[in-house]
Amino acid sequence: MTESQVIVFAVPVFFAMIGMELLVGIVRNNNTYRLYDAMSSISTGMLSQLVNLCVKTLGFAIYAMAYPYLAVSPLSADALWVWVAAIVLYDLAYYWNHRAGHRITLFWAAHAVHHQSEDYNLSTALRQTSTGWMFGWIFYLPLALLGFPPEVVGVAGLINLLYQYWVHTEQVGKLGWFDRVFCSPSNHRVHHAVNDAYLDKNYGGILILWDRLFGTFQEEDDNDPCRYGTRSHLHNWSPLVANLQVYRDRFVEMRATRGLGNKLALWWKGPEWHAQSKPESQFDIDFIKYEPEATGPQRAVATASFMLCLIAVTALLWYAEQLGTVVVLVATLALGLIMHVFTRWHAYSSTTSVATQDH
């Protein structure tokens, strides 16, 4: 069974949990969902899975090719300790990959899409990058040097990814000792927050111990409620625009920046760095969430388009091996364009934004 088919089996579980979270939120009078934001996040996840099909999960392919040359002493996939060690060490590699994704603009350009939602719920977990495959694989090559077989690392990566789904919720509070050891909803809320005290904290995927060890841990403070999104607001529902936002902004800035060193530094330094100093402005933590007005018919058309894309993407993930690369590539381009159009249509057909208050 391919990884994309595993994802297909997980889809009903994902949506069942989203339904449960929505119901709990309504009962508690703490609904964290907005229709367009949720559809945008899930559409971004669908595009990510389609792109993975096209690049044949390049990172794993590179690992598999490099393994015979890097493995000093290959380990046996039959030993239980090898699987346990792989999960732990993969999480350590993920920590550094994730940390680079916030502190180096080249990596932030790929990772930012996961943080753009101004809501925090299980649909946000599905908001995944379509460009992370380009460089993220670098952080996992040390596992090949240590001798971990590709199939073991592949499963460890899938476990790491699936684990992080449930921590994207506001409906689960603090969990005592669990919060001190593992990445939990409370710890990960901090990671997604744009509050001054929470920026660039809590990178761990499964274990929060890495953050405690390397000085990036921050506990959630009930007196400083988390606000979500990115400080450069996206204000767009399109998954294509979401994935290209940081790349576009940096290339525009490169054209106006003098000196090759400064041009390159725009990518290798942190997202907050600019070659030309800009007047400091206080970030408004009480910003109004992006929510253009929508009529009933607009919502109906957008929802129907979204559901049709979801069905098509699910089928494509399941039958990708039989369809072949060319068909998958054409289908990906078509579905990506359709998702861009139906998410952008709402923005073009409405010029009014309405304030949405904190939940």
Nearest residue to 298 via CA among 229, 230, 359, 351: 351
Residues, the chain, total? 359
Say how many C-beta atoms besides its own lie within 10 A of residue 333's C-beta.
12
3 pLDDT more than 80: no
Using pLDDT thresholds of 50, 70 and 90, give the confidence band for residue 346.
low
Q: What is the pLDDT of residues 208-254, one digit of tens each?
A: 999 999 999 999 999 999 999 999 999 999 999 999 999 999 999 99
Q: What is the pLDDT of residues 307-323, one digit of tens each?
A: 999 999 999 999 988 88
356 pLDDT more than 70: no
Residue type at 236?
N
Average pLDDT over residues 78-102: 98
Per-residue confidence (pLDDT) for residue 354, from 0 to 100: 44
* Whole-number Cα distances in Å, 229 to 116, 174, 334: 5, 21, 28
Residue type at 98?
H
Give the Cα separation of 217 and 226 in Å (integer). Answer: 15
Token pair in block for residue 322: 């039989």
Report the chain's terminal Cα–Cα distance, integer Å. 41
10 pLDDT more than 60: yes
Nearest residue to 106 via CA among 254, 265, 262: 265
Helices (H), 182-275: 185-192, 209-214, 239-255, 260-268
Q: What is the pLDDT of residues 133-148, one digit of tens each?
A: 899 999 999 999 999 9
What does the DSSP 8-state code read for residue 288?
P
Percentage with pLDDT > 90 across the chain: 79
Q: Are 221 and 115 in contact (CB under 8 A)?
A: no
Give the Cα separation of 190 and 121 in Å (integer). Answer: 13
Per-residue confidence (pLDDT) for residue 283, from 0 to 100: 85
Average pLDDT over residues 54-72: 88
Residue given tokens 């390159």 in the structure block: 264
Average pLDDT over residues 280-294: 85
Per-residue confidence (pLDDT) for residue 351, from 0 to 100: 42
- Reported pTM: 0.91
